[in-house]
Amino acid sequence: MGLFAKIKAGLKKTREEMSNSVHRMLHSFTKIDEELFEELEELLVMGDVGISTSEHICDELRRKVKERGIKDPNAIFDLLQETVSEMLSGGEELKVSTKPSIILVIGVNGVGKTTTIGKMAAYLQNQGKKVILGAADTFRAAAIEQLQVWADRAKCDLIKQSEGSDPAAVVFDTISAAKARGDDVVICDTAGRLHTKKNLMDELAKINRVIDRELPDADKEVLLVLDATTGQNGVNQAREFKNSAGITGIVLTKLDGTAKGGVVLAVREALDIPVKFIGVGEQLDDLQPFNADDFAKALFDRDPAEYKELENGEEQ
Binding-site annotation: residue ranges for GTP: 107-114, 189-193, 253-256
Give the three-class secondary structure for 137. coil
d(CA 289, CA 275): 9
Return the SS3 of 287: strand
Look at residues 132, 131, 124, 137 and name the one whose alpha carbon lies nearest to residue 168. 137
| Distances 203 to 45, 133, 206, 210, 242 between C-alpha atoms, Å | 37, 18, 5, 11, 16
The answer to whether 235 touches 266, Cβ cutoff 8 Å, is yes
CA distances from 76 to 26, 36, 42, 65 (A): 8, 10, 15, 8
Contact between 79 and 64 (Cβ < 8 Å): yes
Sign (positive or negative) of CA dihedral 218, 227, 146, 127? negative
Looking from the CA of 136 toward its CB, the CA atoms found within 13 Å total 31
Burial of 40 (0-12, 13-18, 19+ CB in 10 A): buried
SS3 of residue 281 by DSSP: coil
According to DSSP H, which parts of the chain are helical? 3-10, 12-14, 20-27, 34-46, 51-68, 75-88, 113-126, 143-154, 167-181, 198-214, 232-245, 263-271, 292-299, 304-315
Binding-site positions: 107-114, 189-193, 253-256
Taking the C-alpha atoms of residue 263 and residue 247, their distance in angstroms, rounded to an integer, is: 17
